[in-house]
Every structure is written in structure tokens, then in C-alpha cells.
Amino acid sequence: MRRDRWWVQPALIVAALTVFGIYSIVRAILSKYYAITAGGAHLQSPFFSPDLPGIFSFKTGLPWAFLVLWAPLGMRSTCYYYRKSYYRSFFLAPPSCAVAGAARRRYTGETKLPLVLNNLHRFFFYLAVLVVAFLWYDAIRGFFYHGSFGIGLGNAIMLINVLCLSAFTFGCNSWRHIIGGKLNCFSCSSAARTRHGLWQKFSILNGHHQFWAWISMFTVGLTDLYIWLASSGVFTDPHHVF
Amino acid sequence: MAIEHHDYDVLVLGSGGSGLRAAIAAAEAGAKTGLVCKSLLGKAHTVMAEGGLAASLGNVDPRDGWETHFQDTMFGGKYLNNWRMAELHAKEAPDRARELEHWGAVFDRTPDRRMSQRAFGGHTYKRLVHIGDRTGLEMIRTLQDKTVHSAVDVFMETTITRLIKDGERVVGCFGYRRPTGEQITFSAKALVLATGGSGRIYKITSNSQDCTGDGYALAYEAGAEMVDMEFVQFHPTGMVYPPGVAGLLVTEAVRGEGGILRNALGERFMEKYDPKRMELSTRDVVARSIYTEVKEGRGTPHGGAYLDVSHLDSDYVRRKLPSMYDQFLELAGVDITKEPMQVGPTCHYFMGGIKVDADTGATRVPGLFATGEASGGMNGANRLGGNSLGDLLVFGRRAGLGAAEAAGKAGSVSLPADELAAAQAEVDTFLNGSGTENPFQMHKELQTIMGDGVGIFRDREGLSEAIGKLEGLQSRVGNLRAPSNRLDYNPGWQLCREVRNMLTVSLMISRAALMREESRGGHSRLDFTAYSDYWSENNIVTHMHSDGEMVLTPTPVITRDELGALVEARKEAEKAS
Amino acid sequence: MSETLTAGGTRKLQIWRGDLTSGELVDYELETEPGMVVLDAVLEIQRSQAPDLAVRWNCKAAKCGSCSAEVNGRPRLMCKTRLDHLPADQPITVEPLRAFPLIRDLVTDVSWNYEVNKKIPPFTPREDLPEGDFLIDQADTDRMSEFRKCIECFMCQDVCHILRDHRLHDRYYGPRFMVRMASLDMHPLDGLDRIDQIADDGGIGLCNITKCCTEVCPEGIHITDNAIIPLKERVVDARYDPLLKILGRNRRRPGKKKPAV
Ligand SMILES: Cc1cc2nc3c(=O)[nH]c(=O)nc-3n(C[C@H](O)[C@H](O)[C@H](O)COP(=O)(O)OP(=O)(O)OC[C@H]3O[C@@H](n4cnc5c(N)ncnc54)[C@H](O)[C@@H]3O)c2cc1C
Ligand code: SF4
Ligand code: SF4
Ligand code: FES
């Protein structure tokens, strides 16, 4: 019998994921205050990127963010790291190591619907790369105020956020497989050698996948919160245009 | 109740490297083969080997070849080796190493993608095939997988307590299954002893619990000859602290990577003993040097020498010696990248063993074969690091083939009832007899006697005293009884027979040590410090007389004319330098 | 430097005694030596207080993987666990592994693992190899080498909830053998396509990558990240990825043949 406080970690994870989930839903439904445009700035919240109404020029009162949010959420919910944490903390399978889980009559792991769909993680990775590309676009655009370069708190936050998201995205286990892990011989061709080199680099990132998963989740949330507060007039985004 | 019984052409006792290799060879030769071991499969003592497997592949240094390996082995063994064994070993080790790789073993590579080889004490060229510091594990796992996919039946956690003879011939054996205590018998047309060494006769040893010299005792009792029993290798660097891990090996690679030995005064004392090779001198020399420093009052607080790698880059140390780093941090609370280790000699290997025919592993008892550390002759007075793993493969295979061939020629065998009854009575007495001697206690006494009297340095007085005490123990050994009489997984019961075996082995060692009045390789006499001409040409062969007495006979070394030139050339070269 | 470790004084151990039918934790007290590990304590108790205490060990050097037990509820090698690293204010519990049938006291019947191993075809060289020495790169060796560090302590098997709690021994090989499968499937010269075995008989889909195996591995093998997840991705290639299927590349495994059944 484990006598340490093994339940602390799953409890914290439940709390954090629940808060984040509720926050995202509330924000998507709210569907406003998602861009700082004062002073020629264009700081777009990551929850609302790509800016579909902007790109396709439509106006809607409906929570359109769900049309984009499913991709990053799908990335996270099929991510090998997140799977570990929600299987442990929500499904209690197992709640912690060497602790008996919730008695389930039949355990089928990831062999049956819906969990078998987790095997399609790589497609969410592809989509996540697309989303990250948009966020890079947003982050760079954020440094221009009416075409002039400027630095402010908001665009700095956006840059940090997209860096963290990239670190998370490219630490993906599926990506590590695709880039080189799937090879059985790392040395049998020059292409294989190159891919081995890349595999080693992404393996380092992958080793910190859990870290970047949490950090990037917080940075996304905080970036959105910042933009929400600044665009709704609680404060103004401090910046300097050169 | 009927006893569980099995019939084999070839039965191998022991699942270390040599036993597994023998079983594979026998099965491939078409013999119906069984394999018995005391522990679980894959846990035999071989799993602990770290440094590597010596084979003159010449991948790293193309100058290497079997001739040099042969010469190194002979020089290391102070020319007491069985020449033919040293020859076969040097010639066949490369093929055995390649074969292992074809069975799935994974070794470190050279830049041109071949098996890499590392330097080791006493080897002229870089010769040891290795993977990190866990070569034995790689070898065991590979052979284990090969075995379970060969036609070999494996009996794990089964202890053999007696060989059974029909007249002159060994026809099988008797033992019990440890988890249940149920008795089991085997009949075999040929039986291979691959039971390893006997390190547990010393308190300070790098050997695992299995190493209780069962094979030595079983073969001796069955009438086989033993050779070179006085030569015990003390590895210079074992842990000395904390007490629970005293003896645990500190691999030679620590010195290979640049570790420095100092005494309590901070002196680099190897300058005194071997200024040329310093820390990388042969094991016997380094072990004696450390021992002398401690004896003369310059030892560390825990009675050893300091072995220091803290002058090396700490990342390098962690990368090159990962398990040593862990071992000291975890077990001794010492960070070896910052502070020195304390080390002292630890009983490591038995050069001596059952006397066998080099080509087939046959003993002089019909139907009985031996291989691996259980057999003797290959290593002479001192073994070079890495030569054991090669030995296991080369002679394991040969013994397996030899046994299969003998089995093919033998008629059917059966176990004589009286022999069987005697074997049963013995284990039963340990369990239900009226004895009062506690095996745990007697084991401790034995270890103390051996440590005090038959350690690294020996003299007539100490040896005679030890022999006296051992004989005292012998008079009590019939009185051994396990403290508990349950059958299932009873450690005391197991130890009874093991103590008896270890006592037999200890007597062989001490008597041979008393007889050899010189210092050579693993045998150092304070009263005879030099080589003797007579003993440079003789091995000591031990056997049991029909009246039960132990008989020791000096016997000329087994030489081979066609190798004379190589040996002479090496002797000349040594003299010249 | 090389400071003397402090002796722990008297410690209390609670060792599980019993067999399949009944058993309980029994209290023992012993005077500890500095640096003592759990196995030292158990053997001392065996020597002086409980001569019939069943315990399995061999190397006492963390190399053979025999002495696995659950210390304070966590699978550990007894010979590598120092008493003074365990909380001093509580007794130390020592219990047998739970994923396997008990023989007695601390000894369990681990033979199921050996049965599983028998089902895994050994390394089989590709048929298209040139004559002569194997040529393998250190890069490939390094990847396989991590898996081959395994000492078969079976603690990962013990802690894996699929075996431990759900008792699905007939449907999942367990992490130890996923590690073995990885070492074979990633061998550059291995000629068998092992994906079907990994997915079907091996049951990799049951693993929900909760990583307890990795947490307990005494050899520090990244069982989940380096063996199981990469194998899962290989299974995805072969079975689940519709894109690869359309391109006809889902079964492209150069040099590898399906094993004869
Ligand atoms: C720490 C360490 C490091 C080493 N490093 C190296 C190295 O780098 N290179 C090298 O060449 N050598 C090395 N050696 C030496 C080498 O490992 C051994 O000499 C070798 O492994 C012995 O193998 P074996 O097959 O003869 O027997 P073992 O591996 O000792 O196996 C003996 C087998 O016999 C069985 N057995 C014993 N008695 C009975 C019985 N009564 N009934 C049934 N079964 C029985 C046991 O269960 C076991 O399976 C090292 C040794 C140690 C201790
Ligand atoms: S990660 Fe998979 S194999 Fe490892 S313990 Fe969890 S379920 Fe078992
Ligand atoms: S993978 Fe690790 S935990 Fe599992 S059996 Fe091997 S060494 Fe033990
Ligand atoms: S006794 Fe070998 S690992 Fe603990």
C-alpha cells in the first residue's frame, strides 16, 4: 500500500484541465474582445486564429471560434502526454502507480471507439502545425502598427506564446516518429543520416513534452486573457513604435 | 510418491554463459537436451560481467591475431595454462563473438561499423568486444533467447545436490525444485557441469549468491580431478564501505579511464610497486599493493585505498562509467565525480576447476563434462580480464558438442536405486535429521577462516591453521540441519548442501596453496616470495581417493610442441624488456 | 569526504508472510548498519529471526533483477533501496509483487513472463544481407542498447495496471516485452515484420501510456516514450493511417518479411 499522498497530482490535473476547459468554452461563446486594434495594432487572440470572419469577410454573432478551436483541442486531447494525464486523473486507470484504479468491468485500453481514435493523433499534429503557422503570422503581424515596427507587452506575450506552442507542437511523439523514428536503420542512406540527426534533436524536445504541454497551455490562456482585458478597455497595451 | 523424472541425452547444469552455450550446441547436434539451474533463467552470475569479451578480431588494431592473444593468455597465466586450451580459446573466440552477434547481440561499434574493441589489463592490443559496462548481460540475454528457441527444456530454480553414478559412469543427477521442495531426478547419457565458481567462500566477494562451488564438489565427489585450485583471483577494486556492499565490484574500466590509486597519506603508491604500468598493472599486482598499503597502516578509514576519478571531467565520468556513478551515489552516498572511492581487494574468480580435455570438455569420469568457470586449466595462475567470457563461449560449445557425441555413443542409462536412496537421504537429513549445526552460522565461520588464512597473502602457518579449522568444520558438517523444516523455498535447507560444497572447495584451495611453495599469479606466499623452477612446470591436481581422502599430485603442465616457439618468443620478449 | 554514513539505529520492518491462501504483514525489528539496503535487512531477519522467510535474490548488485518487491507500496529492487532513504518515522513495508501468483512470502511465480518471451521470434537476420561481418552503426546500436539494458526484474510488468489490476495476462505482453519487441523491430538487420504480433497477440492497443512502467524501471529505460509509443506509431502506419493506406505505403517495410506462423 502506498502511503504517500499520491492523489495530490491527479487532483491538481483535474483542477487545471477543468479550469482551462471551462475558460475556453466561455471565451468561445463570448466571441468578442479577441483582438487589440487600438493605435493601428493587430494583436489577435490565439483562441480566435485564424480569424475566419476576417479572412472570409462575414459577420456573425455565433461562437465561430469553435470552428478553429477543435483543431488545437484535438491535438491536445490525442497527445500522448495528455492521454496519460487524463487517463490517470479522469479515468482513474490507474489514478497513480501501484494504486488500484476504479473497478471497471471491462478494460479495453485504446482498442475500441472512441479511444481508438487517439491513433489518429498525427492528423491533429498536421492541423496543429497549420494553426501554429497562423499564430506565427499573427505574432509577426503584431509587431507592426500601421506598417511601422513597434514593441509592446502584447506582441511580446504573443511571441512567447507562439514559441512555447511551437516547442510543444514539435515535441510531438508522432512528429518524432515521422521525422526519423520510423526508420529501422539510421545509417543506411544519407537521407537516413540526416533524418537521424533531426530525430535526435526533436527527441530532446520530446523529452520535455510534458513541460511544454503545460507551459504552452498557460501561455495560450494568458495571451487570450491579456488580449481580452486590453481590448475590452480594462487597460491599454503598452507599446513603443519606432 | 513417485519422484518427477526426466530423461535426456545431454543434461547441462548451470545457465551462465557456458551452460547456455553448451545446451545450444548439444541441441544443435541433435541431442535431447535439458538445462537445470539454481536461479531463474537469465539471472546467472555471468549477467554481472561488465568489461567485455576478449577476441582477437583485429577490428580496432589489425595487428592483433590469435597468436598474440595466445601469448598474452599464457603470459598472464604465468605459463601454467593448459596450452591447448589457451590455443583453442585464442583461435575460436572471434568466431564465437561473431556468432553471438548473428544471434542478435548488440555490441558497441567502430566508426567503420564493425564490433568495437577496448583495451584491458594484460592484452597487448585493444581486444575486448563490449557494450557499455554490461557485456555479460548482453551475452546472457542473447544466449537465453537462443536457448528458449532451441530444443532445450529448461528447469529453473532447481538445485542439484548429487551426481548419480552407475559403476564408473555418471548417469544422471538428483535434486529438488526450490519453490516446492519436490524432488526431481534426471538420467543423462552425458552431463555437463557449468556451475561457475565459488566466490561465496569469502565474505568479501564480487560473486553472486549462486557461486557456492557446487560443481567443483559434485565432480570431485564423483571422482573427477581438479586442477589449479590454489589460484583464486582477487580483484583489486571492490567496494569496502558500507558493510552491506563490501566486495561489490568496481570495474577495472575505472582505472582504464584514468582513475588514480592513493593511500591515506595521499601517495600514489603504485609508483612503488609497478612504476611502468602503475594503476593498469595486472590484477594480482594491484590487489597485493592495496593490501600491503592497508596492512602497513596507510589504509583509508574503512580499510581500503582511495580510487579517484574526480580530476576527470564530471560529464565524461558519468557517460563512461554510468553504473559506477550510480552504484556509489546510491549505495555509499559518494559522488565519484567529486570525491574518491574507497576500494579494496575482493574475491572474484577461480582459475582452478575441474580438469577437462581441452577439445571436448570431458573429465576423466565417463559421462561427465565440465565447462566455464567450473572447469580449470585455461587461465593458469591468473586470468586476464575478458578471457572468461570468451572461455564460456568457446568451451561451452565444445563441451556441448563433446557431450552430444558421447551421448550418441552411449547406451541407455538408468539410475541405480541405492545411489538414489543415498541422495534422498542426504537432503532429508538436512531437513528432518537430528543435526544441530546452523548452516548460516557455519557459512560465516567458513568465510572467516578463508578470509583470515587463505586470502591474498598466504604462509605456511596461516594455511596450516586454516586447514586445521576447516577440518574441524568438516567433522561438524554431517550435523547440519536447516533451522526450518518446510519444503518450499527454504533458504536454510539450500544452504546446508552449499556449505558442504564450499567446505570441500575451501579444503582443496588451502591444501593446494600449502603445497605450492612459491608465489605466482593469484597465489602469493609470504614465506616463498619468488618463482620456483619446479613449480613453474607443474600444476597441482586434486582428486578423491577411494577411501575418501583428498589427494594432491603435482602434475606436469600440458604443453604442445607446435606452440613452443610462440611461448619461447614471448618469454624472450619479456626478459628483454 | 567519503563520510561515514549514519547508522539508522533500530528500524521496524513489516514483511508480508504467507501464501496464496492466507497471509499478513508481520512486524520485525532490527539493529541497522550504516548504508544497509532493504535486502540486507530482510536477509538479516531471515538469518536471525525468521529462518524460513522466502526471498529471491542473487547478485545483490542490482544486475540480475531477482529481488523485486514492493517496498512501502512501490516496486523496487531490494538490493538497491537504502533503508535510510525511506521515511524514518514509519515502519518499512516489504510485500511481494502483485501481478504474478504468489509462491510464498516475498517470492512470486514469474514464469508467465518466460512463456511470453517464448512467443517472440528471436532476432532473424534479413535475407538480403551480404556475406561477412555485420555492419551496424553506433547510432542504431545506441537506440537498441537502451532496450537491451533490461535486467528482467519484471517490476514494470508488476506496476502495469493492465496486468496488475485488470489481470489481462492473456491479452497483453506487458511493457517488458514491448521493450523487447522494440529492440527487435528497430534492429537494422532484423528481417521479420513484427507489427502484427505487436498489435494482435501482443496487445499494444491496451496500453494507455500512463507511464507507470517507466517510473519504476531500475535501469531508467524510457519504456513508454522510446519503446511503446514508437511501436504504437508503427502500428498506426500499418493499420490506422488512411493517408498511407491510400498511398499504398502502410505496409512498406523494406527487408522485413512476415514471420511464418
Ligand atoms: C562483477 C563481475 C564482473 C566480471 N566481468 C568480466 C568481464 O568483463 N569479462 C570476463 O571475461 N569475465 C568477467 N567476469 C567473470 C565471469 O563473469 C565469470 O567467470 C563467468 O560469468 C562464469 O560463467 P559460468 O557460465 O561458468 O557460470 P555462472 O555464470 O556462474 O553460472 C553458474 C550457473 O550454475 C548454476 N548452478 C550452480 N550450482 C548449481 C546446482 N547445484 N544445481 C543447479 N544449478 C547450479 C547457477 O544457477 C548458474 O546458472 C566477471 C565476474 C564478476 C563477478
Ligand atoms: S504505459 Fe502502458 S505498459 Fe506502461 S504501465 Fe502504463 S499501461 Fe502499462
Ligand atoms: S524494462 Fe525495466 S522495469 Fe521492466 S523488466 Fe526491464 S529493467 Fe525491469
Ligand atoms: S539481487 Fe540481483 S538485482 Fe537485487
Identify the CA nearest to B397 among candidates B111, B104, B20: B20
- The CA distance from B191 to B212, in Å, is 19
Whole-number pLDDT of residue C255: 84
Mean pLDDT to the nearest integer, C2-15: 76
Does residue B284 lie in a domain region? yes
| CA pseudo-torsion sign B448, B454, B459, B464 | positive
With contact defined as beta carbons under 8 Å apart, do A99 and A2 qualify? Answer: yes
- The CA distance from B558 to B375, in Å, is 15
Active site residue B134: no
**What integer best gives the mean pLDDT of chain A?**
92
Whole-number pLDDT of residue A242: 86
Cβ pair C73:A3 closer than 8 A: yes
Mean pLDDT to the nearest integer, B19-24: 98
Identify the CA nearest to C80 among candidates C95, C91, C69: C69
Does residue B550 lie in a domain region? no
Domains delineated in chain C = 10-108 (3.10.20.30), 111-247 (1.10.1060.10)
Structurally, how many domains does chain B consist of? 2
Identify the CA nearest to A74 among candidates A133, A30, A130, A16: A130
The predicted-structure confidence for C205-243, as pLDDT tens digits, reads as follows 999 999 999 999 999 999 999 999 999 999 999 999 999
Instruction: Give yes or no for residue B229 having a pLDDT over 60.
Output: yes
Instruction: Give yes or no for residue B157 having a pLDDT over 90.
Output: yes
Which of residues 429 through 488 in chain B touch C, CB cutoff 8 A? Answer: 440, 482-484, 486, 488
- The CA distance from A79 to C232, in Å, is 13
Which residue would you say has higher pLDDT here, C5 or C39? C39
Instruction: Give yes or no for residue A47 having a pLDDT over 90.
Output: yes
Does residue B474 lie in a domain region? yes
Q: Which residue has the cell 515535441?
A: A171
Identify the CA nearest to B538 among candidates B569, B559, B511: B559
Instruction: Give yes or no for residue C67 having a pLDDT over 80.
Output: yes
With contact defined as beta carbons under 8 Å apart, do B101 and B93 qualify? Answer: no
Mean pLDDT to the nearest integer, B110-120: 93
Structural domain boundaries enclosing B527: 425-532
The predicted-structure confidence for B275-298, as pLDDT tens digits, reads as follows 988 888 888 889 999 999 999 999
- How are beta strands B368-370 and B183-193 bridged, if at all? parallel
Task: Point out the domain boundary residue: B313, B345, B377.
Answer: B345
Mean pLDDT to the nearest integer, A145-149: 91
Which of residues 181 through 220 in chain C touch B, CB cutoff 8 A? Answer: 183-184, 187
The predicted-structure confidence for C68-114, as pLDDT tens digits, reads as follows 999 999 999 999 999 989 998 899 999 999 999 999 999 999 999 99
Specify the ligand 1 atom closest to the Cα of B46. 21
Whole-number pLDDT of residue C1: 40
With contact defined as beta carbons under 8 Å apart, do B370 and B395 qualify? Answer: no
With contact defined as beta carbons under 8 Å apart, do B216 and B232 qualify? Answer: no
Which of A29-33, B88-92, B468-472 is the least confident region?
A: A29-33
Q: Quick check: bond before A114 cis, omega within 30?
A: yes
Does residue B372 lie in a domain region? no
Q: Quick check: bond before B179 cis, omega within 30?
A: no
Which residue would you say has higher pLDDT here, B89 or B485? B89
Does residue B13 lie in a domain region? no
Which of A37-41, B241-245, B521-525, C5-9 is the least confident region?
A: C5-9
The predicted-structure confidence for B328-385, as pLDDT tens digits, reads as follows 998 998 999 999 999 999 999 999 999 999 999 999 999 999 999 999 999 999 999 9
Confidence grade of residue C6 (pLDDT, cut at 50, 70, 90): low
Whole-number pLDDT of residue C7: 63
Model's pTM, two decimal places? Answer: 0.95
- The CA distance from B257 to B452, in Å, is 33
**Which amino acid is it at B402?**
G
Task: Point out the domain boundary residue: B287, B312, B345.
Answer: B345
Catalytic residue (choose from B130, B235, B458, B500): B235
Whole-number pLDDT of residue C4: 57
Collect all residues with Cβ–Cβ distance below 8 Å to B2 and sequence separation of at least 6. none
Instruction: Give yes or no for residue C261 having a pLDDT over 80.
Output: no
Most A CBs within 10 Å, among C158, C184, C209, C241, to test the A interface: C209
Complex ipTM, two decimals?
0.95
Does residue B306 lie in a domain region? yes
With contact defined as beta carbons under 8 Å apart, do B485 and B202 qualify? Answer: no
Does residue B210 lie in a domain region? no
**Is residue C23 within 8 angstroms of chain A, CB to CB?**
no
Strand locations in chain C, DSSP E? 10-18, 23-31, 68-71, 74-77, 92-95, 102-104, 107-108
- Nearest-by-CA chain B residue for C134: B114
Does residue B128 lie in a domain region? no
Confidence grade of residue C260 (pLDDT, cut at 50, 70, 90): confident
Residue B447 backbone dihedrals phi, psi, to 5 degrees: -65, -40
DSSP result, A131-148: HHHHHHHHHHHTTEETTE
Q: CA distances (Å), B384 to each of B70, B116, C256, in order?
A: 11, 19, 41
Whole-number pLDDT of residue B547: 93
- Residue B336 shares a structural domain with residue B432: no
Task: Give the CATH number for residue B306.
Answer: 3.90.700.10
The predicted-structure confidence for A60-106, as pLDDT tens digits, reads as follows 778 898 888 999 999 999 999 999 999 999 988 899 998 887 656 68
Whole-number pLDDT of residue B1: 60
- The CA distance from C184 to C234, in Å, is 13
Chains in contact with A, counting 3 or more C-beta pairs less than 8 Å apart as contact: C
With contact defined as beta carbons under 8 Å apart, do A158 and A43 qualify? Answer: yes
- Residue B238 shares a structural domain with residue B337: yes
Percent share of chain B, pLDDT over 90: 89
Instruction: Give yes or no for residue C2 having a pLDDT over 70.
Output: no
Mean pLDDT to the nearest integer, B485-510: 95
Whole-number pLDDT of residue C8: 67
